[in-house]
Structure 1
């Protein structure tokens, strides 16, 4: 039986990320389940699970990971820290030719590393099988409600990153007393489902898109809008999902009517740059434009939500968008829309997010690493191997080799 030694990397990127790919409990369960697997952890002072928590579960600390077969982290590994001819798992942020990681992709190729990016792990139908999206939605919706409370001086909640875990955050959330506002969520995947989990804590009622537009309520409500609800073909006003995925440029937004009745907008949908923006700057200048707080969980800068002019931070999650000047302003004044655009939301609840991610990793990915990869999951997800880009990622040639 082939033996595998896994090294859990210390996060070296700045600002530091407290998340881990494998929690102490999940490490111990993997060792029990797979007798041929050994796991060691690089010591770290910043991760959300302490060194002592790992050793208490029988997982040894090891500084030098050269004898490991597989190295697992969360964020990008500094090029000078890469160990040649190893198998790495982390978010490389290279598949969109991100300029700041050009040096990284070159290093991975030069050191003949097999790079398996969590973002590229998919099933045979091309659906992603792992990610932190659920917790981005959970925290993003919480931040949206927190921002609404601050905007109208209704209540003050402890920021999620100051809560020990999700249980404490949800206890905090129960202190929020929302008026009869309308909350719109766009998207139907993990991120959207995470946002809905947070709204469910407050027992906010879900209504249909027609009810949302037409009716008034005596309580806060939300509606979930999927692509057929917010885009259409301009010539026949119809919607075809396959056509939208393949040719999003053929569609126009039909979201503007929702901007006239929505108080809090939570954006959780995937956006293709060829897709239409949800609404325009002209829409915002209309007298009946109502949205006053926008939690842009997907955080595409100048993307589907035109008020997202920059990412915000965990320390300062809110900024204002001044409709008149079209520039950044203070977040909680009368003339501005309060924008929440934190681009690393799961880091606010690192223990919960890591546990959720680690379970998916151990159940949906590692069996293919330790056993028969009959669906070629690992092969499909490998960006480079043996000193060259793999077939699926040859489109990165100009980025990686020049």
Structure 2
């Protein structure tokens, strides 16, 4: 029978995430009769004891496992030859920092199943953290503003049990009349949008955002035509912008001047116009 091992994370700074919760592992073992164990990890968001209480074996070595499941990249010196790894390897975009990792994976005859490449029949990713990245990004933006100004104090998202705990803290703080500009409407953008709304911050139309003042905190969410324009003055075409962003210039400056906080939710490429520069 194939044996699966949930491995500990070795990222620096430490990553506390786990690919499966104690209840999920218990379900796989008890209902589907899958042999799966968890490698001990003191920094994991779920303690060893939580897995043990769910009836899941917690082990130190996973060398006898066939499939190893983690979250982030595995250090080269921790790779086990001949295994199947399920992780986010961050190699598909030819990331320079992980070229050595990919070479060693090939060298040690390791089969790599990258979560980033798992898609449905429509080519859409099945596993993506973008939505949650947007939620945490918006939270961290307000956390940073609070620290900078001393006007309010938020706990770090990583120190909260779950998002419900975060929402409870939002109801206990009074935000000043800050203006927040949010870019992006994909997974990251929608995640940030959710958190800003859960903070009780009112969403405003971009034009109204630029031209009016508000006695309470507000945010606006920009579409590409709000922050980029064709250098030749042609009408904005989103497909052209995505395929050849070098043809466009930034028109973001009015929003930069009107905002206290920017939450960026777009994927930036080198040819795209910068939102703003030091000049």
TM-score by length of 1: 0.64
Of 7, 10, 18, the residue aligned with 2:8 is: 10
**Contact 2:175–2:217 (CA<8 Å) still a contact in 1?**
yes
Change in Cα spacing, 1:125 to 1:236, as seen in structure 2 (3 Å) is farther
Q: Distance in 2 between matches of 1:265 and 1:182?
A: 9
The answer for the alignment partner of 1:90 in structure 2 is 87
Q: Distance in 1 between matches of 2:122 and 2:251?
A: 29
State the 1:278 CA deviation.
Answer: 0.9
Equivalent position SS for 1:260: helix
Consecutive unaligned residues of structure 1, counting only runs of 5 or more, are 283-402
Unaligned runs of 5+ in 2: none
Name the SS for the 2:128 alignment partner. Answer: coil
Matched, 1:106 2:122: no
Match of 1:47 among 44, 49, 70: 44
CA pair 18-128 structure 1, distance change in 2 beyond 3 A: same
Q: 2: distance between equivalents of 1:121 and 1:172? A: 35
Q: In the TM superposition, what is the alpha-carbon distance from 1:133 to its structure 2 partner? A: 2.1
Pair 1:34-2:32 in alignment: yes
CA pair 243-32 structure 1, distance change in 2 beyond 3 A: farther
The residue number in structure 2 matching 1:235 is: 232
Determine the structure 1 residue equivalent to 2:267: 270
Change (3 A) 1:54 1:247: same
Which of 128, 140, 152 aligns to 2:149? It is: 152
Deviation at 1:47, TM superposition (A): 0.9
**Aligned equivalents of 1:124, 1:244: Cα separation in 2:** 27
Q: Which residue of 1 aligns with 2:20?
A: 22
Q: In the alignment, is the contact (CA less than 8 A) between 2:151 and 2:176 conserved in 1?
A: no
Please give the alpha-carbon distance, in whole angstroms, between the structure 2 residues aligned to 1:20 and 1:232: 42
CA distance in 1, matches of 2:42, 2:65: 21
Residues in 2 aligned to 1:19 and 1:111: alpha-carbon distance in whole angstroms: 26
Higher relative contact order (CA 8 A, sep 6+): 1
Q: How many residues align?
A: 279
Contact kept, 8 Å, 1:142 with 1:173, in 2: the verdict is no
Alpha-carbon distance in 1 for matches of 2:175, 2:270: 34
TM-score when scaled to structure 2? Answer: 0.90
Partner SS for 2:58? coil
What are the within-5 Å matches in structure 2 for residues 231-310 of structure 1?
231-282=228-279
Quick one: which of 210, 221, 224 aligns to 1:224?
A: 221
1:141 aligned residue:
138
Q: Which residue of 2 aligns with 1:62?
A: 59
Deviation, 1:125, is 4.5
